[in-house]
Chain A
Amino acid sequence: MDDTQKITPSELMIITASRALQGNRTVFVGVGLPNIACNLARRSHSPEMELVYESGVFGAQPARLPLSIGDPTLVSGATSVVSMADLFMLYLQGGLIDVALLGGAQIDRFGNLNTTVIGDYQSPRTRLPGSGGACEIAINAKRIFMIMRLSKRAFVPKLDFLTSPGHLDGGDARQRLGMPGYGPDQVITDKALFTFDNPEREMMLVELAPGETVESVQAVVGWPIRVADELREMTPPTAEELAIIREQLDPQGLYR
């Protein structure tokens, strides 16, 4: 493995997500990018982290990077393996999940997600997977991190379909509906990092990837972005983090 290989935007996104997970005990893991970010966190700074999968696994210690969230490597050596009914009722709805990672085809300025359709629901232009567990995860986990690539197609002013609620129309909309969790807390992308740390609960640019500017980020976001007073640069990966991704978790470079 060539360690001098250029750090890709995807690697920066995965590593930023992994670091954001530090200090959390229970993390609900989804397929794809969340999967690799959570496994990186457990193998680097947070060996105590309990990885929770909607397939019914609590405290997974996968020996290989699972292709799916139902991989048999998640079962062998886990803390506990339960029915999906128990997972959703006792662990998720019971309030035991500190943070969950979600992604989607579309996200809006309040962190609402669409994973259902592009176009009209009844006659969609593109039929997407749908909710899976995302809708109830978005409602019940204590906090939500989004991890997705930044693009104009994904960061839209209006969703074609609201699958999983973020901060809805902003402010205290979630509390008014009696939702237990805080909702979206961070949006981690390959070009920038956003939080919702303002009274309107609106997505706010707080960090830029090296080489990006407010203008370059604005160019791929479908609404006028709110920018934090102090804008920072995303911290570059360490050699150890890169080695874990490149040599252990993604040797084939599928997420590069």
Chain B
Amino acid sequence: MTATSKLITMREAVEQYVEDGSTLAIEGFTAFICFAAAHEIIRQRKRDLVLCRLTPDLIYDQMIAAGVAAKLVFSYLGNPGVGSLHCIRRAVEKGIPRPLEIEEYSHFGMVGRYTAGAADLPFFPLRSYLGSDMPAANDRIQFVDNPYGEGQIAVVPPLKPDITFVHAQRADIHGNTHLWGLLGTQKEVAFASKKVVVVVEEIVDEDMIRRDPNRTLIPGLIVDAVVHEPYGAHPSYVQGYYDRDNDFYLKWDEWSRDQETTEAWLEEWVYALPDRAAYLDKLGRETLERLAPGRFEADPINYGRYG
């Protein structure tokens, strides 16, 4: 390890970069959802976070059940392919374990917010929200006159999270990050955030990154820390490394139906464990083997050698 290495542990990353009241984004659209970061945030009992994410998914359902959040900024509140997010519904409908403020957009609106945040634009224009009740429910969605022609266009404000955790396949110790599969908003949220922690399945040599620069979604330039956390996205998935644990998503629908069983799950799988390695031990080899995908490889390409 060189002196310039940004490698730290997840515990250190959460201690150093997540403060009570932080605006936090952990993105990844179905894929690359960094549950390892969420569990460490729950373990360290952070409070009053503003959680941003297109699809709060199980990751924010768990965090909100654990009481870390004061507010949720989102665009789709469901357990994808399964049904409701019971913990978030409990917080919104009944204030359990604490009331949750919400700020709601559509997917394109959230994508536009990160894009404007990343490009330092005052707003992002998009063809959405016309005729919808969403602008009435969220006064941050506005319409402006088209300065070059007829009509109005919807605009959303930039979103610049204080901190983001971005999960990916591999990075070097400087944070130059290769990601392939569903890109989601990983690039936009990384460029929009003030601090960036990259969490990867593998640490690789800088040389491997440089042999395939088109795959570098995030440059080390904007990365503050790198965490090596294999299987850190389970029960979400990492393309080519492990499949989505759909059984877990189905079972969560039962476990999360009331606050007591949810807290029992959090106690057993988060608070009682010191770190992700312990989680994987508890999860067991069989589950990880069940989630191993077959091979479906791209052919090598030639970038060419010039000079």
| A and B form one complex | yes
Q: Does B181 contact A (CB under 8 A)?
A: yes
Which A residues are CB-close (under 8 A) to B81?
31-32, 66-69
Contact of B182 (CB < 8 Å), options: A75, A133, A162, A178? A75
Q: Is the CB of A132 within 8 A of B243?
A: no
Within 8 A of B (CB), among A136-178: 136, 139-140, 161-165, 168, 173-174, 177-178
B: which residues have CB within 8 A of A? 29-31, 54-55, 74-78, 80-82, 84, 88-89, 92-93, 104-108, 111-112, 115, 126-134, 137, 150-151, 181-185, 187-188, 237, 239, 243-244, 246, 249, 293, 296
Q: Answer whether A57 and B131 are a contact pair too, CB < 8 Å, given A131-B107, A132-B106.
A: no
Q: Is the CB of A132 within 8 A of B130?
A: no
Which B residues are CB-close (under 8 A) to A75?
181-182, 239
Within 8 A of B (CB), among A94-153: 112, 116, 121, 124, 126-136, 139-140
Q: Answer whether A129 and B78 are a contact pair too, CB < 8 Å, given A83-B184, A163-B133.
A: yes
Q: Is the CB of B127 within 8 A of A139?
A: yes
Q: Is the CB of A162 within 8 A of B29?
A: no
Which B residues are CB-close (under 8 A) to A124?
92-93
A: which residues have CB within 8 A of B? 31-32, 54-57, 66-72, 74-77, 81-85, 88, 92-93, 112, 116, 121, 124, 126-136, 139-140, 161-165, 168, 173-174, 177-180
Q: Name which residue of chain B comes closest to A140, CB basis.
A: B127
Contact of A136 (CB < 8 Å), options: B55, B127, B151? B127
For this complex, 28 residue pairs linking A to B, each with C-beta atoms less than 8 Å apart, are A56-B183, A67-B249, A70-B30, A71-B244, A72-B182, A74-B182, A76-B296, A84-B183, A84-B184, A85-B111, A85-B112, A116-B133, A116-B134, A128-B77, A129-B76, A131-B106, A133-B76, A133-B106, A135-B106, A136-B127, A161-B133, A162-B131, A163-B133, A164-B132, A165-B131, A165-B132, A177-B130, A179-B130
- Complex formed: what's the CA distance from A136 to B150 in Å? 20
Which A residues are CB-close (under 8 A) to B115?
85
Which A residues are CB-close (under 8 A) to B31?
70, 72
Which A residues are CB-close (under 8 A) to B77?
127-130
- The distance from the CB of B297 to the nearest CB of chain A, in whole angstroms, is 10
Most chain B CB inside 10 Å of its own CB: which residue of A70, A139, A140 = A70
Q: Is the CB of B126 within 8 A of A136?
A: yes
Q: Is the CB of A93 within 8 A of B131?
A: no
- Complex formed: what's the CA distance from A126 to B237 in Å? 30
Q: What 7 pairs across the A-B complex have the smallest Cβ distances?
A: A70-B30, A165-B131, A68-B80, A132-B76, A129-B78, A136-B128, A67-B81
- The distance from the CB of A46 to the nearest CB of chain B, in whole angstroms, is 23
- The distance from the CB of B105 to the nearest CB of chain A, in whole angstroms, is 8
Which A residues are CB-close (under 8 A) to B30?
55, 68-71
Q: Is the CB of A72 within 8 A of B249?
A: no
User: Other CB < 8 Å A-B pairs besides A121-B137, A130-B104, 8 of them?
Assistant: A55-B182, A57-B182, A68-B80, A81-B181, A116-B133, A126-B93, A127-B89, A127-B92
- The distance from the CB of B193 to the nearest CB of chain A, in whole angstroms, is 16
Q: Name which residue of chain B comes closest to A32, CB basis.
A: B81
Which B residues are CB-close (under 8 A) to A177?
130-131, 151
Q: Answer whether A130 and B80 are a contact pair too, CB < 8 Å, given A56-B184, A67-B246, A139-B128.
A: no
